[in-house]
């Protein structure tokens, strides 16, 4: 079915910028305040009020533009984009149209070991709109209320070229872009709260065709998984339509994650005429080369470079490096924990296996708030490496550290978890175990080598996990042949 067509995908990503104040006024951008408490005459669009540009938002835009290899324009203009909707105080949005902040960039991604370069058409700045709160659902609500707290929060829109060919590539592009904005600390990347939103344009065509097929825009995909599922659904829907000779209608479709399908929202025949014109209340924004260079100097190491460095500097595998760098918080955590470690690979294993069981890899806030700090994890690993505790006990200690926030040494000494490596002390336990499992001993002697593991386990159990597995092993190997 779908291999009969080439899939063409472009993404439009909206990222809320983490400035302290709004794009054009001094109101706070903090999320979750009671409705309409973070508003003023300017962001409510009251008569006579005027916008004043937040230069920090521009700086964040420049920073991102440089990270995705765009050319930043010296002459910038804001424009008004018009349409009527109650969540928009002025019934126009201050955005950028003909003269965006930056253009002509790219982002390199890798899917299934194949590298792809995705073009970026433009990056521009605009203001967010408010939020409607309906009494019941939209169709039947007797009334709706508007919360303007979000109105005027700075947004950055990044439009890709139609360069993606699979839903996997689209997901990889989005993940990579998300990692970059989070690394740059310009956006918190939270898709559920809507700090990062993604719309897709998708069309199908016969392989080798030079013209693009009719595109459909898909909205309301608020997670990586939704993006992938929505695109896969849409690829199938369009392919089926084309197979049966149906015409694809240029339209906007909404992804419904519960029903796992897209539904038509509005067709382009009824599309808005946005009547853009240059915003007369803001003078043209002059982005001097010196400003761009000053911002460039503040660019941190980006995910791709860091991935490479993790492979060469810490000898991590390509896969581990990829996972460890998918968020800045996680990568910073790993590096802080591995800083003084003779064996970074072990630290990576703990971070990627144990830490990621308790915190999501891309949740910067949860990683920062994790009760086990990098130094704490490093301390725990030291206890394993110097033989104080066994790896098994270490996992228990890790759990306790996560629950209480105490350091490993405190827990180990309070609970008497120090590893027993004394051959005399352990020899007695080994003897008891051997005596109690004659059948297993026989199996072992008959050549069933796996029986050894069972016996080790019994000794560990008898010592509440405190026995040194290495010492137990050698004691068993020493005693078994003598039986």
Partner 1 sequence: MLTRLTIHELGARFRSGEATPSQAAREYLDRIAALDPKVKAYLTLTAAAALTQAREADARFKSKAPLGPLDGVPLAVKDVLCTRGVRTTCGSKILEAFVPPYDATVVAKLRSAGCVILGKLNMDEFAMGSSTENSAYFTTRNPWDLSRVPGGSSGGSAAAVAADLAATTLGTDTGGSIRQPAAFCGNVGFKPTYGRVSRYGLIAFASSLDQVGPFTKDVADAALMLQTIAGHDPMDSTSATIPVPDYSAALRLGVKGLRVGIPAEYFIDGLDPEVETAVRAAIGTLKSLGAKTESVSLPHTEYGLAAYYVIAPAEASSNLARYDGVKYGLRVPGARDLIDMYSRTRGAGFGAEVKRRVMLGTYALSAGYHDAYYGKAQKVRTLVLRDFQRAFERVDVIVAPTTPGVAFKMGEREDPLQMYLNDVFTIPVNLAGLPGLSMPAGFTRTGLPIGLQIIGKAFDEATLLRTAQAYEAATAWRARKPELAA
What residues have CB less than 8 Å from 131, skipping those under 6 apart?
87, 146, 147, 149, 150
Q: Is 280 in the site for partner 1 (CB under 8 A)?
A: yes
The DSSP-derived string for 86-151 is TTSTTSEEEE--SS-SEEEEEEEEEETTEEEEEEEEEEEEEE---EEEESS-TTT-S-EEEE-SST
Q: Which of residues 155-184 bind partner 1 (CB under 8 A)?
A: none
Residue with smaller CB distance to partner 1, 169 or 279 = 279
Number of residues that bind partner 1 (CB under 8 A): 28
Q: How far apart are CA 201 and CA 129, in angstroms?
A: 22
Cα angle for residues 23, 19, 105 (degrees, 5° grid): 85
Please, are residues 90 and 52 in contact by the beta-carbon 8 Å criterion?
A: no
Minimum separation from the CB atom of position 129 to partner 1 (A): 12
Q: Is 270 in the site for partner 1 (CB under 8 A)?
A: no
Residue with smaller CB distance to partner 1, 48 or 112 = 48
In DSSP terms, 278 is beta-bridged to 79
385 to 414: interface string for partner 1, x by CB under 8 A: ------------------------------
What residues have CB less than 8 Å from 25, skipping those under 6 apart?
40, 42, 43, 51, 52, 152
Please, are residues 73 and 284 in contact by the beta-carbon 8 Å criterion?
A: no
Secondary structure letter of residue 246 according to DSSP: P
Q: How far apart are CA 148 and CA 145, in angstroms?
A: 10
Q: Is 266 in the site for partner 1 (CB under 8 A)?
A: no
The two three-digit tokens of residue 401, written as one number: 């550290």
**Helix ranges, 122-270 (H):** 167-183, 224-243
Stretch that binds partner 1, among 42-50, 116-124, 303-311, 461-469 (CB under 8 A): 42-50
Q: Is 479 in the site for partner 1 (CB under 8 A)?
A: no
Out of 51, 344, 374, 379, the residue judged to bind partner 1 by CB under 8 A: 51
Q: Is 53 in the site for partner 1 (CB under 8 A)?
A: yes
Residue with smaller CB distance to partner 1, 86 or 313 = 86
Residue with smaller CB distance to partner 1, 37 or 413 = 37
Out of 55, 134, 266, 275, the residue judged to bind partner 1 by CB under 8 A: 275
Q: Which of residues 134-153 bind partner 1 (CB under 8 A)?
A: 146
Q: Is 345 helix (H, G, I), strand (E, B) or coil?
A: helix
Q: Is 267 in the site for partner 1 (CB under 8 A)?
A: no
Q: Which of residues 65-124 bind partner 1 (CB under 8 A)?
A: 80, 82, 84, 86, 89-92
Residue with smaller CB distance to partner 1, 281 or 363 = 281
Out of 3, 32, 34, 47, the residue judged to bind partner 1 by CB under 8 A: 47
Residue with smaller CB distance to partner 1, 99 or 281 = 281
Task: Catalog residues that contact partner 1 under the rule CB under 8 A.
Answer: 41, 44-53, 80, 82, 84, 86, 89-92, 146, 273, 275-277, 280-283
């Amino acid at each position: 079915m779908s291999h009969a067509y080439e899939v063409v995908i472009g993404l439009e990503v909206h990222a809320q910028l983490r400035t302290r104040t709004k794009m054009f006024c001094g109101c706070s951008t903090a999320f979750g305040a009671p409705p309409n408490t973070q508003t003023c005459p300017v962001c409510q669009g009251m008569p006579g009020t005027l916008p004043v540009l937040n230069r920090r938002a521009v700086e964040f835009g420049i920073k991102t533009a440089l990270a995705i290899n765009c050319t930043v324009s010296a002459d910038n203009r804001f424009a008004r984009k018009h349409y009527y909707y109650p969540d928009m105080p002025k019934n126009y949005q201050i955005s950028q149209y003909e003269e965006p902040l930056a253009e002509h960039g790219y982002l390199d991604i890798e899917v299934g070991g194949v590298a792809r370069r995705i073009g970026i058409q433009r990056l521009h700045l605009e203001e967010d709109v408010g939020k409607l709160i309906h009494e019941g659902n939209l169709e039947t609500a007797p009334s709706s209320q508007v919360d303007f707290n979000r109105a005027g929060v700075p947004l950055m829109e990044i439009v890709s070229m139609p360069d993606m060919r699979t839903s996997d590539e689209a997901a990889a592009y989005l993940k990579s872009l998300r990692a970059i904005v989070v690394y740059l600390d310009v956006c918190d990347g939270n898709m559920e709260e809507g700090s990062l939103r993604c719309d897709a344009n998708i069309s199908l065509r016969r392989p080798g065709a030079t013209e693009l097929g009719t595109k459909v825009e898909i909205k309301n995909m608020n997670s990586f998984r939704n993006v992938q599922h929505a695109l896969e659904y849409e690829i199938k829907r369009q392919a089926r339509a084309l197979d049966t000779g149906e015409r694809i209608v240029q339209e906007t479709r909404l992804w419904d994650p519960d029903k796992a399908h897209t539904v038509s929202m509005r067709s382009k025949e009824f599309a808005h005429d946005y009547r853009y014109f240059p915003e007369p209340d803001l003078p043209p924004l002059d982005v001097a080369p010196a400003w761009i260079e000053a911002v460039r100097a503040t660019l941190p190491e980006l995910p791709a470079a860091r991935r490479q460095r993790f492979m060469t500097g810490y000898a991590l595998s390509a896969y581990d490096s990829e996972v460890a760098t998918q968020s800045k918080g996680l990568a910073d955590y790993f590096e802080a924990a591995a800083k003084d470690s003779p064996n970074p690979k072990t630290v990576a294993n703990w971070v990627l296996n144990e830490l990621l069981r308790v915190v999501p890899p891309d949740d910067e806030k949860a990683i920062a708030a994790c009760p086990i700090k990098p130094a704490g994890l490093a301390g725990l690993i030291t206890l394993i490496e110097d033989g104080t505790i066994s790896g098994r006990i270490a996992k228990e200690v890790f759990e306790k550290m996560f629950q209480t926030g105490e350091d490993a040494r405190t827990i180990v000494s309070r609970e008497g978890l120090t590893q027993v490596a004394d051959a005399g002390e352990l020899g007695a336990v080994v003897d008891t175990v051997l005596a109690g499992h004659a059948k297993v001993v026989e199996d072992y002697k008959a050549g069933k080598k796996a029986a050894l593991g069972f016996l080790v386990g019994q000794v560990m159990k008898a010592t509440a996990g405190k026995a040194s597995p290495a010492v137990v092993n050698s004691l068993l190997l020493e005693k078994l042949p003598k039986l």
